[in-house]
Amino acid sequence: MKPTISIFIEYQKTAMNRFSLFFSISLFLFSTIAFSQQNVMNYPSELPFQTSNDSEYYHLESSILIRTVVKDIMVILEKVKDKSQSQSFRIFFKNSKGAQLPIDYAIDSKKISSILASNYVKKAFMNETYDWINRSFRSNIPFKD
């Protein structure tokens, strides 16, 4: 009689461990979804990305494209500044031949309010964002407004 009780107790411990693992994973996924917002941004481009192309046309076009992305990010941040949610951006550069370059960028909810507090911090953030996307895109023009 005792062996069946110990087997039953072991089964309960295993079931409890599985439940706690399932519960903790579910809680983590819920908190990730509930406290951050995913923004998917698509940009068509015929520019070759991740290349060491060194022509004036390439630098001009990539600079304009990246500046557009930075401005779009700032527009989204202005819209959600009152919500206390972190923002994550999934930026896709796509060309007509099917190639795409995904870039992930995230901003903490506490940083959003400080970014929008002054023009100096806002310009510094735009510079950092431009540099991040620029390094991913492999264009070498620094940010100048």
Angular region, 118: left φ>0, alpha ψ -120 to 50, beta rest: beta
pLDDT, tens only, 62-111: 888 899 999 999 999 998 888 878 899 999 988 888 888 888 888 888 88
> For residues 43 and 92, is the Cβ–Cβ distance under 8 A?
yes
Sign of CA dihedral 77, 100, 35, 135: negative
How far from chain centre, in Å, is Cα 38?
7
Sheet of strand 100-107: strand arrangement: 36-44, 86-94, 100-107
State pLDDT tens for residues 51-76. 666 677 777 888 888 999 999 999 99
Q: What is the pTM of this model?
A: 0.68
**Contact call for residues 129 and 73 (beta carbons, < 8 A):** yes
